[in-house]
Structure formats: C-alpha cells, structure tokens
Amino acid sequence: MNGTDADAALARRHQPRLMLDRAEPFRPLAAGYAVYREEGQSLSSKFRIRPQAHAVIEYAIWYDWDIQHLYDLEHVWVHVDAAGAVVKVEASRHGARRAMVRPDGSLPLEHGRPVLYSEPGKHAHWADNGEMHVKSGTLIEAMCGAFAGEQGVHLSNRFSHAGLISASALENRLARLKMKRAAFVPSWDFARSGDEQGGIALVPWAVLEQWIPKRVARLVEDLPSSVPHLAAVFLDCGDTLADEATEEKIPGTEIVTRADLIPGAADTVRQLVASGYRLALVADGPRKTFENILGAHRLWDCFEAHVISEDVGELKPSARMFAAAADALCLSDEDCRRTVMVGNNLQRDILGANRFGLISVFLAWSKRRSHKHRLRRERPRLTISHIWKLPDLLERIELSLPLPEMQAEQQP
C-alpha cells in the first residue's frame, strides 16, 4: 500500500463523528484530510501542526453556511501512535484550537473515532454537549436567533485573501437575509450526526481546496434566484430627502439652488447603496433642482436612474413617471411588485405607487402636506416617521416575501 492509500485508510478509520442539534439547519458536507508525521504549517488552517505521537490527521470540515454567514471551514486534529491508537484530539472553536476532553478527563472516542458535538448554527466543537450548553448556551442561542445573518458572505479567509472568493453588496445582503430566515432555537438534543444522509464526503485536502471556491461561487450565484428580495427602491426628494423649508430658489423660477437634507437622509441613502439596493430618484420639478440639491450633498450618483417630471412631461401620480423609472432599471412586471416607492405626498407618491402596483411607503416626517388619505388608493401600504427607519423597514419587507424551494446540496 503506497503512502496515499495508507493516509486515506488512516483518515477513514479515525474520521470524526459530528453530533448535530436536532434543529440544526446545516449539515457538514465534506472533509478534506491531510496527514502529518513531523512538525509543519497546516495546509488548511493558520495553526502549526506538532504531532504528539506518530502522526496527526487533520480534517478540514466544510459547511456551506454558518448561521451568521456563507462559508464555514472547521477543523479537527487526531493524533495517533505507531499502532494507530488515538492519543489526543483537538478541534477548532471560534478561531482557537482546543483539546477535546470529556469532563471525566477521557478522550471523546468510540471505536477509534472522535465523537464531537457541533455548536448549533456555529459548528465549533465540544467534547461534551452538557458543558457546551452550560458554558456557551446563552451566546449560541443569541447567535442562532437575534444575531443570525450578521456577516453575509465570509470574506476573511484564505480563499478571499487569494482573490478566489468575492461578493457584491447585493450578494452580501442576500446572504444575510438567507441566514436571518434560517434563524432557529437550538433544541440541545444532539440526536443527529454527520454520518446521516450518506455521511460526510472524505477527500484529500487538495481536492476540497479546489472545490471550495467553485462551491462558494455557485452558492453566491444562486442567491438572487433563491432569496426573495426587493428589486428596487424609488425615492422622492422634497421632504423625503431634502427639507423643503430650507430651499433657496432662483428668483422667478422653481429651480432650487440649495437645500438642507432632512435628518438621516444622507446616511440612509449611502446605507442603502452599501447594502446593494438599486435606487431610482422619482421626483417632480426641474432637473436642475435635484442636480443642485443632491449633487451638493454627493448623493446624485447614488441613484442608478433619475426620473424627473420635467423630463417625462408629467407629474406624479402619472403612471408615466413610474414606468420611466421601471424602464430605466429594466424592471419586469414581477420586479415592480417587489419595488418600494417612498414619498411624503399621499396624492402623488402614494396614489401613483399604488396604482402602478408598487409597495408604497409614506414618510410622515413633514407636516407640510396632509397625512389623511382622501381616496382608498391614497392609503399607504406602510408608514415610517423618519427616513432613517427605512433600511430596517426594507429588511422586514424582504423577510416577509414568499420563499422559493431550497436548492439541493452538492458534494465534491
């Protein structure tokens, strides 16, 4: 038997059995192994390998998802003596390498295989599930619940540093949304294991290393079609972004030369751009007004389209204004049903949005215009009191959209 076959046999003999919480949404798909017989740098982690006996088997264990981000690569190290007996087990836990020992001091072994408990959602390793629950249960439950989806696509790893993994602002937002939808309450009943459903694919690390960037690229590519999200956000300007009370006009014209923004407007627009939302300005007035106001505050270029009544030839609530914005962003009819219009005018912004089939959001910050609808279609779908509340509202809308069927798992 050559060295490669011997290493494969050794890795199969001592492959860890990973115990999973009954509510765990993500199972380990693959493990890349490497065998070390002398001290050296790990092939797949940041750690140095120092065999405690004859050899160390390193298992790099791949999950598509951690409850807080796309991409999860955990590790287990099994030290064996010349006779093949396990003398030490180590495993990853939130960036650290920990010795795996039961509370009674024994190694967590069954028939030569380490038996480790995977943290619900996070997949860090413990030798004893009771110890995990007592020491980290509250934090784990928080990460699986209120803090699910905090990081989007994980972009601080060996593959992203090498330029092999990347994600756009939209893709990061969709990854966060996917994990927020996957939030769960751990059962603390570890009745499942990675041996189920055909088990974890065991391959040499070199094979897994080549597969991971392709796998991540496929997962990222599938996000727009698998995660419900808003197609676009249309925004009015006056008393939605700019404070009309501060407008200064060229005498004898309607052209505004300057105006202050309402509180939180600039940060909100920039936050929406950073989250990958497609923005269109849909505003009534002269084009020069909005170039002056938004240009002075460096917001003009945040919009992918600028639909101005002076250019269109009609004011809101005319359908032509909303159709022009939809055309500028190449939105389909289905996309429009997933598009939000935010404005301060019930008779123009809200009525027009409702007639066009958009999700209407009334910004009730200014008292300059009526907050009472006259017609049924002037009633907004949603209302916010301040523009800075918009990002949270958009996320809640996205989390309420219907979810398509999930994609099947693929292993290397």
| pLDDT tens column, 83-131 | 999 999 999 999 999 999 999 999 999 999 999 999 999 999 999 999 9
Contact 37, 153 (CB under 8 A): no
Rounded distance between C-alpha atoms, residue 160 and residue 405, angstroms: 29
Q: Residue ranges of the alpha helices (H) in 182-264?
A: 205-226
User: What's CA 12's distance to the chain center, in Å?
Assistant: 34
Q: What is the pLDDT of residue 412?
A: 64
Contact 70, 153 (CB under 8 A): yes
Whole-angstrom CA distances from 304 to 208, 325, 343, 392 are 40, 10, 18, 21
| 213 phi/psi in degrees, rounded to 5 | -60, -35
Q: What is the pLDDT of residue 371?
A: 86
Q: Which residues contact 37 (CB under 8 A, 6 or more apart)?
A: 51, 54, 55, 56
Residue where the block lists tokens 């790099």: 60
Rounded distance between C-alpha atoms, residue 357 and residue 365, angstroms: 24
Tokens describing residue 49: 């390998």
168: number of Cβ within 10 Å: 12
Rounded distance between C-alpha atoms, residue 307 and residue 283, angstroms: 7
Half-sphere exposure of residue 80, counting CA atoms within 13 Å on the CB side? Answer: 22
Q: Which positions of the chain have pLDDT values less than 70?
A: 1-3, 405-412
Q: What is the pLDDT of residue 373?
A: 86
Q: What is the pLDDT of residue 375?
A: 86
Q: What is the pLDDT of residue 410?
A: 52
Q: What is the pLDDT of residue 177?
A: 98
Q: What is the pLDDT of residue 404?
A: 74
